[in-house]
Chains A and B, each alone.
Chain A
Amino acid sequence: MLEIKNLHAKVDSFEILKGVDLEVNAGEVHSIMGPNASGKSTLAQVLTGRETYKVTAGEILYEGKNLLDMTPEVRACEGVFMAFQYPVEIPGVGSAYFLKAALNAIRKHHGIEEIDAMDFLALAKEKMKLLNIDEKLLNRSINEGFSGGEKKRNEIFQMAILEPKLCIMDETDSGLDIDAMKVVAKGVNALRSPERAIIIITHYQRLLKYIVPDFVHVLVDGRIVKSGGKDLALELEDKGYAWVEEEAVKSK
């Protein structure tokens, strides 16, 4: 589904990604871990097409097509979704209105007719129940005044409604209490399917206890320096990143 080859990217004049290689197939769950400022969010932003990040070398194929040729909205319509590390507030724009507009934009892209208000509401209610979200949030301005945990849960709620093919979650677990984390995990696990791939960016093993990944990758200084199975996350929790970094230096 996704093939990243020798990806280099920079912001202003700083090179942040320095040759990332990663292959993700449909049905798989990948976790990307790594120290602060190693470039995890940058990778997510590059995948979703944020203009401030410039790709200087390498390529990204998504379902066989050149992802870098697509605008951010086309990528979204083609099924690439990011749950933001810091969801943005849009004053005055109702959550329900926003999400319906998004869903209809995606449906239109695929030539499906628009969903009407009643059907949308029914769909939203079903997913809110799954994620334990207060229905009142639907009537409030998007993310405005939401608590940290509400914002994060709301991202997964949007993901559940939009049903993307490639889900990228950027530190969705930080800021969630233990119960909320279980609820989010339940929501994400419900989305696991042979047609869908999930990339989870996280610092901690705890979320991975509930959403068990097929692969774990360690990103250090703009490169994936180690990959492994779910046990790698446990090992990292035990030994910290210094250990991988040393190994990476040795292998050079």
Chain B
Amino acid sequence: MTTDTKTIKTLVDKEYKYGFVTEIEADSIPRGLNEETIHMISAKKNEPEWMLKWRLKAYRHWAKMKKEKGEPKWVNVKYPSIDYQDIIYYSAPKPKKELKSLDEVDPDILKTFEKLGIPLEEQKKLSGVAVDAVFDSVSVATTFKEKLAEMGIIFCSFSEAVLNHPDLIQKYMGSVVPYTDNFFATLNSAVFTDGSFCYIPEGVRCPMELSTYFRINAESTGQFERTLIIAEPGSTVSYLEGCTAPMRDKNQLHAAVVELIALDDATIKYSTIQNWYPGDKDGKGGIYNFVTKRGKCLGRNSHISWTQVETGSAITWKYPGCILQGDNSIGEFYSVALTNNHQQADTGTKMIHIGKNTRSTIISKGISAGYGQNTYRGMVKILKGATGARNYTQCDSLLIGDKCGAHTFPYIEVKNPTAQMEHEASTTRIGEDQMFYCKQRGISTEDAISLIVSGFCKKVFRELPMEFAVEAQRLLSVSLEGSVG
């Protein structure tokens, strides 16, 4: 058997498994951002006039924001300022010809997704999971489309939806996250390239998990995807997104927008396993993940649930939230955020109670190891009309080692006296006694940590769809490798 230190050394030197690059000819536009860039993106995608106009409106607003205030300053993360002129805003694998079916997708791209464990070929599709695969700026394949269409479910790339379902896009795009919302959402509204679109018609329970897999491949590209999910009255859908990127020394920007809309009695469950490249152990490289995700419980008794497992990215900045507008609507946020080495995460949620008897639950589990900095930032707002609103917040931090940090910023604003709020918080270290107990039973240091950490995250993991819970657990232990020494 090797000694403790030796094992730890080899584990530290182990690399990010998804860090390979696919050599593929790309169709990119020149670096930089100006009105011309927006025209180029829109033209590449053959967009209708209204879409271009919307983008331009957003771009002008962003340019103004950038000049006046710049990036948000309140965030508890540190990074060198981003040169927005040094980013490529559109990069697509060059299609050999127009794609009619999966068989025509470039085999190198299929191979890439296969290497990532996402088989797109018809025969090998994950059973019961429909996948939309986004490679750099475009969606390359959506599986099970026809089967879903039989039930009236639309699951396609955002670009396709702009062309084929303009009425739905025009009605809902920006209705939850307006283009003026925040610096990164505004940037996204101007330059977004692709993403997924789901529409579940009235009374339909989507029979399978819908899943989008995002992959940044090209160098110096930003990924700006947009996802829109609409659940009509009485419908139910469970959606999952996964993300990875190659290892690069330079930081890459990912600024996505996700909007969810749930009408009367509809339920949307949105799960994320985020594993963007976090940078190397000295903090070089990695993805800046600046994301705006929000759901609107528009109808009575509607239900939106966010579950996220955040293990990747150099910096994570995201607050999936719910606007609880319909009476009796329910918003939930279950989160595990892990920071190791030099990763920084500032994440949490916003629950805005507008309707009567609205309820929200927030379970946040932050794990910091190495030099990782983990911030929970949560806002619960109970508006005047939200009689009988209730919130339960539980916010726990686990520290591994003594060079990392955990920070908690809960903001509470209550305008209705009938509201019931409950808040619990804790910060713990992995106990030497717990570690020793495991080791005394024969369990190795690494396995003991991953065991204790998954126990800590149990309340969140059990919210994930079965297959992904296993994946999440595996991911956590991989991300924690080498965290003790």
B454→A84 contact, CB < 8 A: no
B4→A71 contact, CB < 8 A: yes
CB proximity of A115 to chain B, nearest CB, Å: 13
Contact check: which of A51, A52, A92, A158 meets B441 at CB < 8 Å?
A158
Q: Which of A81-100 contact B (CB under 8 A)?
A: 81-82, 84, 87-88, 90-93, 98-99
Interface residue tally for chain A (C-beta within 8 Å): 30
Q: Residue on B with the closest CB to A161?
A: B441
Write out, one digit per residue, whether chain B residues 1-22 have a CB within 8 A of any chain A CB (1) or not (0). Answer: 1011000000000000000000
**A73 within 8 A of partner (CB):** yes
**Which B residues lie within 8 Å of A84 (CB)?**
437, 440
**B173 within 8 A of partner (CB):** no
Contact check: which of A49, A74, A82, A92 meets B456 at CB < 8 Å?
A92
A90-B455 contact, Cβ under 8 Å, with A71-B3, A73-B443, A102-B443: yes
Contact check: which of B432, B442, B443, B455 meets A92 at CB < 8 Å?
B455
CB proximity of B4 to chain A, nearest CB, Å: 6
Q: Residue on B with the closest CB to A71?
A: B4
Query: Chain A interface: which of B186-194, B403-411, B444-452?
Result: B444-452
A105-B437 contact, Cβ under 8 Å, with A71-B3, A91-B456, A92-B455: no
A73→B439 contact, CB < 8 A: yes
A88→B455 contact, CB < 8 A: no
Q: Residue on A with the closest CB to B431?
A: A88
Q: Residue on B with the closest CB to A102?
A: B441
Q: Residue on A with the closest CB to B448?
A: A73
Write out, one digit per residue, whether chain A residues 64-75 have a CB within 8 A of any chain B CB (1) or not (0). Answer: 000000011110
B440→A105 contact, CB < 8 A: no
**B427 within 8 A of partner (CB):** no
**Which A residues lie within 8 Å of B3 (CB)?**
71
B457→A92 contact, CB < 8 A: yes
Q: Indicate the size class of the contact surface on chain B.
A: 20 to 34
A50→B447 contact, CB < 8 A: no
**A186 within 8 A of partner (CB):** no
**Which B residues lie within 8 Å of A77 (CB)?**
442
**Which A residues lie within 8 Å of B457 (CB)?**
92
**Which A residues lie within 8 Å of B456 (CB)?**
91-92
CB proximity of B257 to chain A, nearest CB, Å: 34
Contact check: which of B434, B436, B451, B452 meets A72 at CB < 8 Å?
B436
Q: Residue on B with the closest CB to A81?
A: B440
Write out, one digit per residue, whether chain A residues 27-62 have a CB within 8 A of any chain B CB (1) or not (0). Answer: 000000000000000000000111110000000000
**Which A residues lie within 8 Å of B447 (CB)?**
101, 105
**Which B residues lie within 8 Å of A92 (CB)?**
454-459
Contact check: which of B431, B442, B451, B454 meets A76 at CB < 8 Å?
B442
A50-B436 contact, Cβ under 8 Å, with A91-B456, A98-B451: yes
B440→A82 contact, CB < 8 A: yes
**A141 within 8 A of partner (CB):** yes
Most B CB contacts (10 A, CB to CB) among A52, A90, A105 go to: A90
Write out, one digit per residue, whether chain A residues 134-173 have a CB within 8 A of any chain B CB (1) or not (0). Answer: 0000000100000000000000001000100000000000
CB proximity of B445 to chain A, nearest CB, Å: 7
A74-B437 contact, Cβ under 8 Å, with A52-B432, A92-B458: no
**B433 within 8 A of partner (CB):** yes
Write out, one digit per residue, whether chain A residues 171-187 have a CB within 8 A of any chain B CB (1) or not (0). Answer: 00000000000000000
Bound Cα distance from A93 to B439, whole angstroms: 15
A88-B433 contact, Cβ under 8 Å, with A71-B1, A76-B440: yes
**A109 within 8 A of partner (CB):** yes
Where chain B touches its partner, the secondary structure class is: helix
**Which A residues lie within 8 Å of B433 (CB)?**
88
**A106 within 8 A of partner (CB):** yes
Bound Cα distance from A224 to B447, whole angstroms: 37
B454→A93 contact, CB < 8 A: yes
A73-B434 contact, Cβ under 8 Å, with A92-B458, A93-B451: no
A162→B442 contact, CB < 8 A: yes
A90→B443 contact, CB < 8 A: no
**Which B residues lie within 8 Å of A101 (CB)?**
443, 447, 451
Q: Residue on B with the closest CB to A78?
A: B442
Q: Residue on A with the closest CB to B4?
A: A71
CB proximity of B397 to chain A, nearest CB, Å: 14
Q: Residue on A with the closest CB to B444?
A: A73
B444→A141 contact, CB < 8 A: no
Q: Residue on B with the closest CB to A89?
A: B434
**Which A residues lie within 8 Å of B444 (CB)?**
73, 105
Bound Cα distance from A162 to B441, whole angstroms: 8
CB proximity of A109 to chain B, nearest CB, Å: 7
A90→B452 contact, CB < 8 A: yes
Q: Residue on B with the closest CB to A105?
A: B442
Q: Residue on B with the closest CB to A80?
A: B440
Bound Cα distance from A50 to B458, whole angstroms: 28
A72→B440 contact, CB < 8 A: yes
B439→A72 contact, CB < 8 A: yes
B441→A76 contact, CB < 8 A: yes
Contact check: which of B4, B439, B445, B455 meets A141 at CB < 8 Å?
B455
B455→A91 contact, CB < 8 A: yes
**Which A residues lie within 8 Å of B440 (CB)?**
48, 72-73, 76, 81-82, 84
Bound Cα distance from A98 to B441, whole angstroms: 9
Bound Cα distance from A167 to B140, whole angstroms: 60
Bound Cα distance from A102 to B440, whole angstroms: 9
Bound Cα distance from A207 to B308, whole angstroms: 51
A88→B434 contact, CB < 8 A: yes
CB proximity of B132 to chain A, nearest CB, Å: 33
CB proximity of B133 to chain A, nearest CB, Å: 34
Bound Cα distance from A50 to B457, whole angstroms: 27
Q: Residue on B with the closest CB to A108?
A: B442
CB proximity of A70 to chain B, nearest CB, Å: 8
Bound Cα distance from A182 to B442, whole angstroms: 28
CB proximity of B3 to chain A, nearest CB, Å: 7
23 of the cross-chain contacts (CB-CB < 8 Å) are A51-B436, A52-B432, A71-B4, A73-B440, A76-B441, A82-B440, A84-B440, A87-B437, A90-B437, A90-B438, A91-B456, A92-B456, A93-B452, A93-B454, A99-B441, A101-B443, A101-B447, A101-B451, A102-B438, A105-B441, A105-B442, A141-B455, A162-B441
- 9 nearest interchain CB pairs? A92-B455, A93-B455, A102-B441, A92-B458, A76-B442, A72-B439, A88-B437, A105-B442, A106-B442
Can you add 20 more A-B contacts, CB < 8 Å, to A84-B440, A98-B451, A102-B441?
A: A49-B439, A71-B3, A71-B439, A72-B436, A73-B439, A73-B440, A73-B442, A74-B1, A76-B442, A77-B442, A82-B440, A84-B437, A90-B451, A98-B441, A102-B438, A102-B443, A105-B442, A105-B447, A106-B442, A162-B442
Interface residues, chain B, with chain A CB atoms under 8 Å away:
1, 3-4, 431-434, 436-445, 447, 451-452, 454-459
